[in-house]
Amino acid sequence: MNRLLMAGKTALVSGGSNGIARAQAELFASEGAKVVIGDIDDVAGEQVAADIRKAGGSALYVHLDVSSERSWVSAVATAMDAFGGLTTLLNTAGIYRMASIDDESPEGFLRMATVNQLGVLLGMKSALPALRASGNGAILNMASAAAVRVYPEQIAYSASKAAVKLMSQTAANENGRFGVRVNSIYPGPVKTGMLKDATREVLDAALSTMPLGRMATPEDIAYGSLYLCSDLAINVTGAELAIDGGLLTR
């Protein structure tokens, strides 16, 4: 088989200037998708889009603050104007910070919820009209192993990702009749800059309990994303794909 899995599709990727989202954007473009990279880092985002175009892909950058509904509406409109439609949303932007219940502040908790939870809701709400109109839309939300397992000093992060889990299932239930599939991915630790705030003890504890004993790369997550957003998964919705080295089996 020699075909491009995302040919004819247009994908909007939040947080696309780095980490998992960048790997998703690059892979989807290499598989034929037109890619809109959304981020708050304009310099890095423009560079990723330029790199994709240099490699022969189709990509543009748009400033996207995932906590702003107006910003989301503008990003979707840009995709529609530039590429004539939108078929795929990757809700990947997120933040991570460690804090125990004793140390967590109301401001810190709400900041985590605003980016990781509200950002996902606003992305889905803003993109759904276009995805429904496409007749074959796909949403992929980034959850976490922390959504379903207890890890120390992650009270706000775990809460935000557990919300993503149930929001994804709700959206899948509500939108199947419109031809829109909604799935989520559950990474364990991934080699990205987000782990700069994780302690060595937490990382070592996670790795020691992984059957595969290795930390994931952004590309590992991107390949799972490609499957769920492509027509190979045309009958898959409401699914939860763990890409965690077996962490959730412990």
Q: Nearest to residue 49, comparing CAs of 34, 64, 31?
A: 34
Structure tokens belonging to residue 41: 């880092």
**Residue in 61, 157, 186, 227 annotated catalytic:** 157
Find out whether 241 and 185 touch, Cβ atoms under 8 Å: yes
Contact 18, 193 (CB under 8 A): yes
| Residues pairing with 184 in the sheet | 141, 240
Lookup result for tokens 């996902």: 120
State yes or no: is 157 an active-site residue.
yes
Joined tokens for residue 218: 């952004």
Three-state DSSP class for 228?
Answer: helix
Question: Which residue numbers are catalytic?
Answer: 157
